[in-house]
Structure 1
Amino acid sequence: MGSALPLGSLPAAELFYWLGVATLTWLSLKAACRLLSGARVFVLGAGVEVGRFGRWAVVTGATDGIGKAYAKELAKHGMSIVLISRSQEKLDQVAKEIKQFQVETKTITVDFGEGAEIYKIIEAGLAGLEIGVLVNNVGISYNYPEYFLDVPDLDNLINKMLNINIMSVCKMTRMILPAMVERSKGIILNVSSASALYPVPLLTLYSATKTFVDFFSQALQAEYKSKGIIVQSVLPFFVATKLSKIRKPTLDKPSPETYVKAALNTVGLQTQTNGYLPHAILGWITTSLLPVSLVIKQSMKMNQGLRARHLKKLKEKGD
């Protein structure tokens, strides 16, 4: 019997055949692992019981959308809630809604776009509280997709978006994490965005800030996991909120309540999560099956369409 031919001596057609088999096998195994992991998290699994990490939960950007939904869902788990946002009227309304769960509420009124001075106010408001969960949710995006240099009032938006989307996450974590480490337990949930999974043209600054949140969260989890701390990066696709300008929930664009209920069940199971099964499937497709260049191209095309429709509406109003 003859010995097997070395790889370098195989005919080109046969070489490409075996490379194809190896690639297909690898992709199939990778897909199977992702599917099994998804089933474990979204079908079979349940996250940690958040209430055992401390009496209070702190939620930034708590008066609308995902932030409000986190506040209510955590209250259902018996946690008292600190609501932080810029509108006292809206804070009072959410606090009133949460009282049905028979938990305490506390409100702190600040505008995260104003910079470092607000954190003295927040720190004073949180003094003495045993904080088990921090939800860094506050964030802003563009009013509509736009080329970077054409964004209205660009210099102001840069400062505001960096303060709200990045500075708030760092400062709130710096404020609350030490006590969690001292007690050897705590949960930090940082709401990023699916736009952090790949660059999104015409939402360039927003996408970049959310990538910071994702990387910051994953690295922080690696640093403090051994201290009993859970840090999770939450990367939703579209959710029916004021920020996304989607009014009617659908299967792939859920209500904030549906999304957060699912996302909270992933805490302790995934460091980086899309939070909701249909979003996890979208995340798998866009990061594992499709080339990044194609995803960027399609994002560009979609946002150019949204931009054109927005500018057309503005022109019609002007006329």
Structure 2
Amino acid sequence: MFRLAFLESEGFTNFFLALSALGAGKGAWAIVTGSTDGIGKGFAEELARNKVNLVLISRSQDKLDAVAKEIKNESKVQVKTIRVDFANATKEDYERVKKEIQPLNVTMLFNNAGVSHEYPKEFEIEDDERNRQILEVNVNALTKMSRLVAEKFKAQKNGLIVNTGSFSALVPSPFLAFYSGSKSFVQAYSQAIGAELEPFNVSVIYLNTYFVCSKLSKVRKSNFFTPTPEQYAKQVLYRLGSHCGSLQPFVSVPHVGHAIANFAIENILNRRFWISYSYRTHTDIKRRALAKQKRLADEASKKSK
């Protein structure tokens, strides 16, 4: 509880130190993947408000153009777009990204691109293509993007890599096995490279994220524990560098509601209890998803008659 009491003061200090040190307002650029929806778009908008130029990466050029136009209309920053479908990205795609960012003063990378299951499903019946996409986007793309900027960041002795994680790594999630496993990898990977890059003044932060209103989470209404992407992005930047209640190195839980939930999981009852809670929660979500599928199928069948 003592850690929670210092969320505000700790975050206030880190916000100004982190963004100014990373070149905000001085020509610095940030790469944001998954930047046309959800948390990624929230980061792009908030970074622009803080005078950081942007390299937006996503799979839809139309959406990239729309977000870039929106940001340029609201903020006086430069915006560059690169279309990459991370689920099917080739070696040439990553070489193209590297070539595009080479002349830019890139100091930040926000890895937000992600894929989850359509709905909670038994691991043995989830289709192989969905599992492949989860691993390709959540694991391979994230590692390749971080490796792509590492040499540049180390050479300039300044940089930040932010990897968006999930509570499904803190509490392994039944019926979301591949997604949960992918985020567990991201946490371990972030902590490992965080230790490697720290001597070069390069920070790595794994964001332990609970529910945020987005297409990925399928949550639409915000509340104290479930912020909008804009609210979440603002709190992340406000508390850059702060653990915000997490006991783990290189891990941050910047949203206050998420920090309280994280504290409860780490300190109240054992992990088996929380896995059982997750099992019951996702069993109910699965039941409702299947019921919706059946209802839609029945409606379509009636219309076709």
TM-score by length of structure 2 reads 0.89
Which residue does 1:83 correspond to in 2?
A: 56
Paired with 1:52 and 1:41, the residues of 2 have a C-alpha distance of 17
The CA deviation at 1:268 is 2.0
Q: Is the 8 A contact 2:241 2:252 kept in 1?
A: no
Match of 2:301 in 1: none
Is 1:156 matched with 2:129?
A: yes
Unaligned 5+ runs, structure 2: 244-249, 299-305
Written as runs of structure 1 = structure 2, the 5 A alignment for 1:279-318 is 279-318=258-297
Q: Which residue of 2 is the match for residue 127 of structure 1?
A: 102
Residue 93 in 1 paired to residue 66 in 2?
yes
| Runs of 5+ unmatched residues, structure 1 | 1-30
Q: Is the 8 A contact 1:51 1:132 kept in 2?
A: no
* Partner SS state of residue 124, structure 2: helix
Secondary structure at the aligned position of 1:205 is classed as helix
Change beyond 3 A, Cα 1:92–1:51: farther
How far did residue 317 of structure 1 move?
1.5
Alpha-carbon contact 1:145-1:202 (below 8 Å) kept: yes
CA–CA distance in structure 2, aligned partners of residues 129 and 230 of structure 1:
19
User: AA paired with 1:295?
Assistant: W
Q: How far, CA to CA, are the matches of 1:89 and 1:107 in structure 2? A: 10
CA distance in 1, matches of 2:287, 2:34: 30
Aligned length in residues: 285
CA contact (8 A) 2:35 2:58 kept: yes
Cα offset for 1:186? 0.5
Q: Residue 86 of structure 1: CA displacement? A: 0.4
In the alignment, is the contact (CA less than 8 A) between 1:51 and 1:78 conserved in 2?
no
Identity %: 36
Give 3-state SS (helix, strand or coil) of 1:150's partner.
coil
**How much does 1:101 deviate?**
0.9
The 3-state SS of whatever aligns with 1:107 is strand
Corresponding residue SS for 1:231: strand
Correspondent of 1:170 among 130, 143, 159: 143
Distance 2:4 2:228 in 1: 24
Q: Which runs of 4+ in 1 moved over 6 A?
A: none
- Cα deviation for residue 40 of structure 1 reads 4.6
- What is residue 246 of structure 2 aligned with on the other side? none
Judge conservation of contact 2:18–2:241 (CA < 8 Å) in 1: no
Aligned residue in 2 for 1:114: 88
Counterpart residue number, 1:41: 10
Q: 1:216 corresponds to which letter in structure 2?
A: Y
What is the rounded CA distance, in whole Å, between the counterparts of 1:143 and 1:41 in structure 2? 38
In the TM superposition, 1:1-319 aligns within 5 A as 31-32=1-2, 34-36=3-5, 38=7, 40-41=9-10, 45-47=13-15, 48-54=17-23, 55-99=28-72, 100-117=74-91, 118-151=93-126, 154-270=127-243, 271-319=250-298
CA contact 2:242–2:254 (8 Å) conserved in 1: no
Structure possessing the higher radius of gyration over alpha carbons? 1
Cα distance in 1 for partners of 2:267, 2:90 equals 39
Kept in 1, the 8 Å contact 2:213–2:221? The answer is: yes
Q: Per the alignment, in what secondary structure is the counterpart of residue 57 of structure 2?
A: strand
